[in-house]
Structure 1
Amino acid sequence: MFPSEVSGIAFTADPNRPDCDDVFFLRWEELDRFEGEREVLGDRIRDRTRLHRVWRRLGLPDVIDSDRLDDLATCPARRASNDAADGACLQGVAVAPGLAAGTAWVVHDPGEASGLESGYVLICPTTDPGWMPLFAGARALVMERGGVLSHGAIVARDCAIPAVVLPGAIDLLPTGTAVRVDGARGTVERMEGDARVD
């Protein structure tokens, strides 16, 4: 076991300590000093957590040119960028075939997902193995980032649920929106009323 894992376990052993994931917002040398500098390092963890949230919302370009790295510092917050944002049918990238409909449920972090009822369409930034429990109740998956070989696409095909990559999906499809996902065509259709597959 790595020292950071040991420290993370120690964090959870005491309810007055930060969340176990907070260990990843400390530098290696700060782990050893945590007990003696709890207040200072606790503030540092909170600051770094806030920065991490901001960085995750940056609207990074599809291609990063090494000659223009300074431009990354001025990227605006991610916004809906689909050309058909005002229309009912949104065109994305097909990554797992199938047709399904349901109510959109936006989830930014799988650890914060609660109250999900089976039959939702999962709308998320991207996925990794930590998202696996959410696939069990999902009718379809719409990710903002990924491709046919991304984690979400592979798992969606394994679970036989349609999946589409749609940049800006979180802004375009807020929780509660009735949607129909066509994973073969790469489309997500916003619907009025109940979302049913004919």
Structure 2
Amino acid sequence: MRRLIAVASVVVLGACSWLPNHHLDYRKAESIKPMVVPEGMVFIGEKALYPVPDGLPAPVYSHAKKDDIPPPPQLAVTAQESEDTAQEAAPDTDPTNTRVVLARDGSGYPIIMMHTPFSWAWEYVGQALAATDMKIEDRDRESGIYYVRTPKELDVEGREAQIKLSLTANGIQIAVLDRKGAALLDKEPGQQIIQRLYDAL
């Protein structure tokens, strides 16, 4: 059976070379005289039915207009870049003069607002947490998160919570998230954690 298949393959492949090949015949084509139409008749294909008029000349670049090119649009910046830009724009601002406000968000969850650059707020919160009865187990400055272990009396699930720092239009917002960081911590234990942090700040 295999021998039969092999023989058939050779025959089929060889047959391809027996077919005439005319793909280069266009090179042998010769120019002929235009078709002559009898008087009183019109050959439609001789001229375009809808001739395209000459358009306006293409604009020519002028060196006199090189300064008229609009600047590129401003790209989006990260929170850290925005913070650095703000510090450069106001070099005389004293970052150590920090205003800390204990407040609530639109849903009634306790938060802290700090009016200071993110880098300073990050340091202040770290020092304040170290001064409380909560223990810092890990930290992620790029995400603005402190992972803390809470005391037993706060009744926090797994005794784990996240302190989240977010850069907003009104300053640095500090909120307390659950152990997974998926939602805000319940208001009662969240208020106790925020109050401890606020007192230490």
Task: Indicate the TM-score class for this superposition, using the shorter chain for normalisation.
Answer: under 0.3
**Rg: which structure is higher?**
2
TM score, norm. by length of structure 2: 0.24
